């Protein structure tokens, strides 16, 4: 007699829901994935500026590192791994245009970046010595018990890091990686970024960028064993079923892969206390010029509001990113664009000679959860008090801050919990 396939209903088609669906579908479960919008990918999405416009823009530039093992595993499952291009260099640009490059050398980890680090022109010899001491201390103190109770700025001051080193090195790397300011982020997450991304393996810090718009990346996904339902918001989930379009759909197991602010209305029976969770915003500024203004593929920009710029099309279309952008939330569109163009011209003089043809600003006020001290122990696990309802999302207890890797890990952890509950245990997390 053929064994009946357990059924799973997943609410939310972002990376967490996609990961859970791909894992469980591949393991022989019958999976229905419901997404309220007309595309998969959640916050990692793209859209046209106008109806019938063939050009798609990403809501914000999403970056991955080679140490994102679970995200890369998901891309392999979806059949889109060849759409990711990895880069070995990090370009740092100072106002005035001077460029420094950080790249892997011949030495083994954790010394693989040391030669190019010593050659960075935007840091003084004293800064480099202080940073080297800080990185050595970070490796020694990785198991400190108070890292979730103090901010990274607290730790940096404890290690007597110079202000210039904090601003030009520690802040430049960490605010973009964690989407939070140094005086608000838990030190444990900052430690993780440096330990896994820059110090553990020589190739770990390679930066991956999608070569196609993000919505096309997920539209091309191969989800074996999964039925995808777009424009189908899940209204309510109880142990007995999920309400969708006023009708109840039943499954053996349910995964809620939604942002934390939506959970209370989706599954009120859980009654989780999530009032400690806050959001941190990201602002993406898309600029189209009448001529090329940028030769580099991307660059970290020092000492200004704008933090990164990405070359999206032969230097004429560029995207500027500002993480933890609370100061821009109340600014007008015109003012944000003017700020970006003015500051960009300080790094790349050709901007001042170019004509801005069009621009678009995307303020994601709820881009990520804020990785503040004391939050880690409050992040819920995949399993809940209701035996057939599970949680996924980068805000759940993944051990990671709000990254694409964290979202995928959460989906795999939820899939593992479902498989365990079904009596078919399987390991998905890499």
Q: Report the alpha-carbon angle 82-52-358, nearest 5.
A: 85
Here the tokens at position 130 are 């202080």
pLDDT in tens, 44-75: 888 888 887 778 888 888 899 999 999 999 99
The DSSP-derived string for 79-97 is: T-GGGEEEE--EEEE-TTS
pLDDT in tens, 132-157: 999 999 999 999 999 999 999 999 99
Pairing state of beta strands 30-34 and 226-229? parallel
Spatial distance between the Cα atoms of 282 and 196, rounded to a whole number of angstroms: 23
Q: Is the CB of residue 130 less than 8 Å from the CB of residue 161?
A: yes
Question: What's the pLDDT score for residue 3?
Answer: 60
Residue 1 has pLDDT above 60, yes or no: no
> How many C-beta neighbours within 10 Å does residue 122 have?
18
pLDDT in tens, 97-138: 999 999 999 999 999 999 999 999 999 999 999 999 999 999
pLDDT in tens, 374-423: 999 999 999 999 999 999 999 999 999 999 999 999 999 999 999 999 99
């Amino acid at each position: 007699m053929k064994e009946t396939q357990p059924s799973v209903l997943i609410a939310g088609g972002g990376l967490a829901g996609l990961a859970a669906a791909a894992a469980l579908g591949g393991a022989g479960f019958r999976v229905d994935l419901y997404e309220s919008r007309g595309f998969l990918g959640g916050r990692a999405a793209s859209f046209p500026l106008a109806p019938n416009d063939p050009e798609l823009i990403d809501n914000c530039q999403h970056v991955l590192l080679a140490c994102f093992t679970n995200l890369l595993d998901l891309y392999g499952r979806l059949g889109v791994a060849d759409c990711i291009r990895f880069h070995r260099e990090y370009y740092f640009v100072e106002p005035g245009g001077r460029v420094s490059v950080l790249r892997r050398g011949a030495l083994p980890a954790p010394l693989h970046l040391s030669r190019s680090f010593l050659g960075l022109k935007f840091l003084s010899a004293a800064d480099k010595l202080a940073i080297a001491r800080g990185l050595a201390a970070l490796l020694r103190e990785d198991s400190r018990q108070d890292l979730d109770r103090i901010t990274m700025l607290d730790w940096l001051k404890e290690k007597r890091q110079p202000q210039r080193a904090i601003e030009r090195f520690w802040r430049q790397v960490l605010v973009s990686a964690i989407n939070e300011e140094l005086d608000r982020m838990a030190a444990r997450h900052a430690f993780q970024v440096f330990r896994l991304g820059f110090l553990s393996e020589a190739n770990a810090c390679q930066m991956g960028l999608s070569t196609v718009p993000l919505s096309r990346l997920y539209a091309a996904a191969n989800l074996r064993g999964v039925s995808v339902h777009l424009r189908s918001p899940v209204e309510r989930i109880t142990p007995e079923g999920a309400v969708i379009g006023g009708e109840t759909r039943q499954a053996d197991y349910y995964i809620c892969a939604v942002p934390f602010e939506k959970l209370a209305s989706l599954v009120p029976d859980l009654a989780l206390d999530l009032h400690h969770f806050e959001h941190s915003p990201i602002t993406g500024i898309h600029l189209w010029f009448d001529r090329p203004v940028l030769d580099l593929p991307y660059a970290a920009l020092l000492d200004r509001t704008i933090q990164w710029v990405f070359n999206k099309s032969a230097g004429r279309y560029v995207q500027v990113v500002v993480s933890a952008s609370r100061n821009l939330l109340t600014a007008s569109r015109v003012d944000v664009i003017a700020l970006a163009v003015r500051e960009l011209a300080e790094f790349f003089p050709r901007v001042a000679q170019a004509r801005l043809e069009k621009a678009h600003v995307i303020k994601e006020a709820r881009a990520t959860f804020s990785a503040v001290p004391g939050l880690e122990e409050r992040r819920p696990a995949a399993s809940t008090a209701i035996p057939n309802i599970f949680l996924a999302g980068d805000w759940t207890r993944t051990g990671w801050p709000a990254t694409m890797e964290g979202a995928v890990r959460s989906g795999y952890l939820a899939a593992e919990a479902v498989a365990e509950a079904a009596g078919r245990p399987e390991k998905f997390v890499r």
